[in-house]
Amino acid sequence: MKRCIICGGKCKQFHEYFLKCEICGLYVNIDYPSPEKLKNRLKNNMLTASRKKEVEKRRLGKAKIQIETINKYSKRGKVFDVAAAGGFFMKTAQDDGWIVDGNEISVASVNWAKQNYNLNIKNDYFEKLDLLNDHDVVVFWNTLEHMHEPVKSLKKTYEILKDGGLIYIRVPNRNDNNFKKFVEKLHSFEFNPQNLDKLLNDNGFEKIFLKEIPDEDQPMDLLYKKV
């Protein structure tokens, strides 16, 4: 029987390929590709924003809001974008005066970011990278739900942040009412505000805010501080 990575509760079949923790409600994808398979499957993957100008413009506009929010809580410094796709956030943060770094497993997206924004995105998994503990902010923008081992990802984040550094997350907010509408094969886990708060607390982060966002796909935004 599978135990929950957040609370240790029992995970029981909930959907064709998702289990659900009977205590904290975490959804766990039991059919998620291994890191090697996923990297191979996504090697040519690019977001629509890398193919359509108007979508790119919208994505850059959202990145501007992301960086403006961060600027309210941190002085400009060094930011790492986990699974950066085509580098839309990195480009925007760099233009705003931040030193940027990031990773992405899709080779096509890394190349696109180099050609279009002159960014050097690292083509490997975040947890495997050799990084210094000199970051002010780490961003997971629609990416925490794709991590193979979110605990490992948060431990890595803690390790590379300076004391008092920030973690900024956007992630789907899932419950039994909206799970089936939005279910995605390439999400490894689906969180709710309570279990994600516990996961962050347990890994050394303290809440600054956690907001449910009234967008169509029902995400939540979280800003936490390393303590």
| Stretch touching Zn ion by CB under 5 A, among 4-12, 84-92, 110-118, 122-130 | 4-12
Smallest distance from the beta carbon of 57 to Zn ion, in angstroms? 40
Nearer to Zn ion, 4 or 161 (CB): 4
Tell me the residue ranges of DSSP E strands in 42-110: 78-82, 99-102
Q: Based on the number of CB atoms within 10 Å of its own CB, is 11 exposed (0-12), middle (13-18) or buried (19 or more)?
A: buried
Nearer to Zn ion, 26 or 84 (CB): 26
171 makes contact with Zn ion (CB under 5 A): no
Pick out residues in 13-72 that bind Zn ion (CB under 5 A).
21, 23-24, 26
What element of type H or E holds 136?
strand 135-141
Smallest distance from the beta carbon of 6 to Zn ion, in angstroms? 5
Nearer to Zn ion, 117 or 205 (CB): 205
* Residue 27 DSSP SS3: strand
9 makes contact with Zn ion (CB under 5 A): yes
Number of residues that bind Zn ion (CB under 5 A): 8
- What tokens were used for 122? 């690292």
Could you say which DSSP state residue 32 is in? Answer: P
- What tokens were used for 131? 């990084």
Nearer to Zn ion, 6 or 166 (CB): 6
Q: Please identify which residue in 6, 70, 147, 200 interacts with Zn ion, judged by CB under 5 A.
A: 6
Nearest to 72 by CA among 143, 156, 137: 137
What is the C-alpha to C-alpha distance for residues 211 and 156, in angstroms, rounded to an integer?
Answer: 24
Which residues form the interface with Zn ion (CB under 5 A)?
Answer: 4, 6-7, 9, 21, 23-24, 26
